[in-house]
Structure 1
């Protein structure tokens, strides 16, 4: 399995952050902000887990979600997280497209201690995606004066697209705690499904 082969090449979270050129402060703030509960410690601490993340510094989803995983590893000794730069490992990224085929990041590959893949989460939790879409629609309806506002984001004029993205970026800051919880719940579900399949 390619993920297992790349594990030795991946760097620790601390090494990755030390080399970051964008979003370093946001990573550090979100690591400190993340709350790991006793239930999280119990679920994620049952057996050793290896979490391999594909990302790039510029990615907003990564700045929001990787710090949550980093904090989990800090709080739960059986969890180890390592990071690879996606642009240097596009072949691995290609194995885990989004449902629409787009190669999004971050890609979070959860493995057991023997580096068998238990499951993968691509980009962000689905609940977060739905809420981002709803906020984008709310912004569109509230700002009919912006040129091309009713088009899909990729077809909007540049200034309108920039306004939409700025709104979402600001809005997402206020959702950090809830989105972090979504991620932890989704990862826990992924691990529990893998455990159930092993027993069955």
Structure 2
């Protein structure tokens, strides 16, 4: 069975992954260009640098959560010298199935933080708690799955979620805070 070091080595460097994207590339780059880490967090980033962490990101380019979360992770990684490698979920279920959400869902992205020896130090994803509340609230208005309106209304909800993920800086800051909280324990 591959180790986390093996998965990291197998992963795609961030820039290569972004360049290969077909679905959410422009939105991911737009968030990346507009989001900045806080100057007030410099001491936190210095502490993180000392931990010499690396990150394995289980992702797919069609995922709206990944589109919002990854550029924020990229900014944190730049500030704290964390090297990131992307592992595509659908062609790496062996790894994905070790990090199921609620023990059953192959939800992404999942960020696995490892030290220089390849030991897992922290795991984050697929959503910050406040972002999950936002999504749950939007989805709460959907009719039952059997209802003929379900599919059309679900498309509208997904459109609203994607738009919010692309534009709402409050959601980005929830992701940032949640990631910092996880990394502080790494």
TM range (shorter): 0.7 to 0.9
- State the 1:155 CA deviation: 8.7
Unaligned runs of 5+ in 1: 141-148, 195-200
Identify unmatched segments of 5+ residues in structure 2: none
Task: Note the 1:91-130 alignment, pairs <5 A.
Answer: 91-99=94-102, 101-130=104-133
Equivalent runs, 1:147-162 vs 2, <5 Å: 149-151=142-144, 157-162=150-155
**Bigger RCO of structures 1 and 2 (CA < 8 A, at least 6 apart):** 2
Distance 1:153 1:180 in 2: 34
CA distance in structure 1 between the aligned counterparts of 2:160 and 2:74, rounded to whole angstroms: 27
Q: TM-score normalised to the size of structure 1?
A: 0.81
What count of residue pairs does the alignment treat as equivalent?
182
CA-CA distance at 1:117 after TM superposition: 0.9
Q: Tell me, what secondary structure is at the counterpart of 1:51?
A: strand
1:32 aligns to what? Answer: 33
* Deviation (angstroms), 1:55: 0.5
Cα-Cα RMSD: 2.3
Deviation at 1:90, TM superposition (A): 0.8
Runs of 4+ in 1 over 6 A off after TM superposition: none
Trace 1:166-185 onto structure 2 (pairs within 5 A): 166-175=159-168, 177-185=169-177
Question: Rg bigger for which structure?
Answer: 1
User: Retained in 2: the 8 A contact 1:51–1:108?
Assistant: yes
CA distance in 2, matches of 1:174, 1:56: 20
Checking the alignment, whether the CA contact within 8 Å between 1:107 and 1:120 is kept in structure 2 is: yes
Q: TM-score, normalised by structure 2?
A: 0.86
